[in-house]
């Protein structure tokens, strides 16, 4: 319980405030912030104690149904920390920031991304959904603007007109996606967390994050599936 937890210092509070304003932070940045907060507030600092420092913050966030969680960027495999709201499912949390038809567009975009082969949905496919919304149809121009906002708010990432879920969105929504897309959502065979951008074994259907694929096959002379031992037919990134 929070009563038993190590007390929050001003260093912990500053760390939390900065993370709240960013929403998500790369691990290297979080480590620098940890050091700075401890130095500013003259609190004992040990470079290998970031996770302990964060768990102190988490024990005080528990009664507020919030938590700092660690996750991985699917693009480059780097660790990130994000502040997550546990009290509501994330879609309801988004409901306070977006209109009903914007949310419907987000849900439909998420459907496209999760059911796709590679974890991406093209802007063309997403914009084609805009005039089929049940809540209230959207013009293409309007939908383009909404997509831009989803990228700015770190729910989506965009690369050359292709959209995928932002790292922050994956950390926040992992449980929601795993329970609402049970037949489609895959866990990575290597790190066992949700894999949106992944490669899939053609023989047995297991999936792996691209950074996990890179790491796993680095040590092997011939790429074989860790599950069924068949030849891995995808191009190793």
Q: Which part of the chain is CATH 1.10.10.10?
A: 91-181
Give the pLDDT confidence score for residue 88 in this predicted structure. Answer: 66
What is the spatial distance between Cα 208 and Cα 224, in angstroms, rounded to a whole number? 13
Sign of CA dihedral 148, 153, 181, 190: positive
Q: Which part of the chain is CATH 3.30.40.10?
A: 185-236
Sign of CA dihedral 77, 83, 84, 86: positive
Chain centroid to CA 3: 31
Report the largest interatomic distance among the alpha carbons of the chain, rounded to a whole angstrom.
Answer: 57
Q: What does the pLDDT look like over 164-211, one tens digit per residue?
A: 999 999 998 998 899 899 988 989 999 999 999 999 999 999 999 999
Give the pLDDT confidence score for residue 89 in this predicted structure. Answer: 62
Give the pLDDT confidence score for residue 1 in this predicted structure. Answer: 47
Residue 119: helix, strand or coil by DSSP? coil
Any idea which fold 185-236 has?
Answer: Herpes Virus-1 (3.30.40)
Structure tokens at 150: 């989803």
- Identify the CATH assignment for 91-181 out of 3.90.440.10, 3.30.365.10, 3.40.50.920, 1.10.10.10: 1.10.10.10
Chain centroid to CA 85: 13
What is the spatial distance between Cα 102 and Cα 88, in angstroms, rounded to a whole number? 19
Structure tokens at 4: 């038993």
Neighbours of 219 (CB within 10 A): 6
Neighbours of 82 (CB within 10 A): 22
Give the pLDDT confidence score for residue 131 in this predicted structure. Answer: 87
Q: What is the DSSP annotation of 38-73?
A: HHHTT----TT-HHHHHHHHHHHHGGGTEEEEEEE-
Residue 82: helix, strand or coil by DSSP? strand
Residues of the chain with pLDDT under 70: 1-4, 88-92
């Amino acid at each position: 319980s929070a009563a038993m937890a190590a007390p929050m210092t001003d260093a912990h509070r500053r760390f939390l405030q900065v993370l709240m304003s960013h929403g998500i932070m790369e691990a290297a940045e979080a480590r620098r912030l940890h050091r700075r907060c401890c130095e500013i507030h003259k609190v004992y600092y040990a470079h290998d104690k970031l996770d302990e420092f964060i768990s102190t913050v988490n024990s005080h966030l528990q009664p507020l149904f919030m938590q700092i969680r660690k996750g991985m960027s699917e693009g480059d495999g780097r660790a990130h920390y994000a502040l997550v709201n546990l009290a509501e499912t994330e879609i309801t949390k988004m409901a306070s920031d977006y209109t009903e038809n914007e949310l419907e567009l987000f849900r439909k975009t998420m459907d496209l991304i999760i059911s796709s082969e590679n974890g991406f949905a093209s802007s063309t496919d997403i914009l084609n959904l805009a005039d089929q919304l049940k809540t209230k149809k959207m013009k293409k121009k309007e939908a383009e603007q909404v997509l831009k906002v989803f990228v700015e708010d770190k729910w989506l990432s965009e690369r050359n007109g292709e959209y995928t879920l932002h790292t922050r969105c994956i950390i926040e929504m992992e449980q929601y996606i795993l329970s609402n897309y049970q037949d489609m959502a895959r866990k990575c065979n290597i790190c066992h967390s949700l894999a949106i951008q992944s490669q899939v074994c053609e023989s047995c259907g297991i999936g792996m994050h691209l950074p996990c694929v890179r790491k796993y096959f680095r040590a092997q002379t011939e790429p074989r599936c860790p599950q069924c031992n068949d030849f891995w037919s995808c191009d190793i990134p």
